[in-house]
Structure 1
Amino acid sequence: MREQPVLLYDGDCGFCTASVRFAERRIGLRARATPWQRADLAALGTTRERADREVLWVERGRVYGGAQAVARLLIAAGPPWSLPGLLLRMPPLRWAAQGVYRLVSANRHRLPGGTPACALPAGRR
């Protein structure tokens, strides 16, 4: 049996948590969604610094971050979501998606479900 992918997200961030719940309900998340604060990051091949900076998709020993983690989530969900996921992996959409991801990530405390805690680094929450 193939090991299920893991989606690591910021469990202290309301926007991040709401986004994962949306993916579970509407997209059909095919991964174990885990707040990075409760995960064994070393066993998953990543660090606290990276997990605090971006959403991560861990699959078969590989770690994908930011927009590419979202692309992997969409691909794993299957049709019709897999097509946008595949498109997000190809330049120039890949580059644009990463820019949009960084913009959203930097402003998540201002987005629906966001809280002031979303703007703070993990060490200050």
Structure 2
Amino acid sequence: MTTTPVADPYSRLCPSRQLLDRIGDKWTVLVMGVLTPGPRRYGDLARAIEGVSQKMLTQTLRHLERDGLVTRTVHATVPVRVDYELTDLGRSLTGPLAVLEAWARDHLGDIETARASYDARG
């Protein structure tokens, strides 16, 4: 009988750290947020996420696909159409990410006040 080791992100060798890096990345959070309502084409994603470069969007989508959070579907049309969609695993992450997004919106003023206070001491 094989047992799965317990993930310990505080251990420097634990692979769960890579996962935390992935889901904590700003582009991941934004891509997942845009995909939450349903499938989107690459161009739709690029337009919806202001400031993301083509390189970063492509890289983020590839990482999410590799991790099983997003599927990429190529449609044999002219021109070729590619859709991206959250998997069941990806959808299971949308709740925690929505809570994080709401917290950021709710506390943005507090954070800005704290930063201004800290910077004024400098």
Q: Which TM-score bucket, shorter chain as reference?
A: under 0.3
Question: Could you say which structure has the greater relative contact order, defined with CA pairs below 8 angstroms and 6 or more residues apart?
Answer: 1
TM-score w.r.t. structure 1 length?
Answer: 0.24
TM-score w.r.t. structure 2 length?
Answer: 0.24
Q: Higher helix proportion, which one?
A: 2
